[in-house]
Structures are given as structure tokens and as C-alpha cells.
Amino acid sequence: MATYKTASELTKMMIDYLGQRGMEVWRNNNLAVKGRAFIGRKGVPDIIGYDKKHGQFVACEIKKLGDRISPEQFTFLTQLGLAGGASMLCSQTSDETIKLEIFKDGETKIFSWRESEKEFREAKNG
């Protein structure tokens, strides 16, 4: 059973999880600064990096309970998945549920976090 996590806690959880699976990933701070024009690209995920074995680009957007993905973020993830990158959305959907959506080749696979195992398992249909 998952408990409520902040965006920072979810980010750390995913950085650790991906790192244990051979990914070199880091937090991508893409925020506007007061008094300066935003010069970044809208929609770039919170975590970016690469698969150390295959060189594949990796990106993961984080959403805490109550947050919603923006159109720009969704577009980035789906386009990256279509281009062959590892594209993910990690979101807490209730106090008990953290899900991971993986976008690849125009399809989405959904996994649920198992706190006791510190592992995602493919969600069962129905």
C-alpha cells in the first residue's frame, strides 16, 4: 500500500528505481524565473537521462496527487515514445495508488507500484 508522496518524494523514488535498472537519470529543472523570459522548451519532463546499455533517451514526468499533465507534457511523452525513447508518466492517483504509464510505439502500458516490493508490476485489466 502506497502512502501520499510529495512530487519531490515521487521524483526521488523514480530516480532511484530507474538507476537500479541501468538508467543514468537526473532531475530536470525547467522552471521560469521571475523577471526573466522563459527560454526552455515547454513540456520537458521532470526526469531525463539515458539507458547506459543501449543509449536510449529516457524521460519521466512526475505528478503528485491532484496534479494533471499539461498538453505540452503529454505531447512530449507521446512523441518521444513514437521516436523510440523510453517515455514515462509516474503519477499518484490516490493515497493507495502510484501508477507508471509507459508510452511506446503508439501504445500505453500501465504498471502499479508495490510499496512492499519497491517495484512496479503490470496492472491487471478489469
Which CATH number covers residue 49? Answer: 3.40.1350.10
Counted domains in the chain: 1
Q: In 3D, which of 48, 46, 105 has the Cα closest to residue 73?
A: 46
Radius of gyration of the chain from its Cα atoms, rounded to whole angstroms = 14
**H or E element in which residue 88 lies:** strand 86-94
Q: What is the pLDDT along the chain (126 residues), one digit of tens a residue?
A: 557 789 999 999 999 999 999 999 999 987 667 777 777 788 999 999 999 999 999 999 999 999 999 999 999 999 999 999 999 999 999 888 899 999 988 889 999 998 888 889 998 764
18 in a structural domain: yes
Q: What is the pTM of this model?
A: 0.89
Task: For the chain, give the longest Cα–Cα distance.
Answer: 49
pLDDT, tens digit, for every residue of 81-112?
Answer: 999 999 999 999 988 889 999 998 888 999 99
The whole-angstrom separation of Cα 87 and Cα 118 is: 20
104 in a structural domain: no
- Which domain covers residue 15, as residue numbers? 1-28+41-96
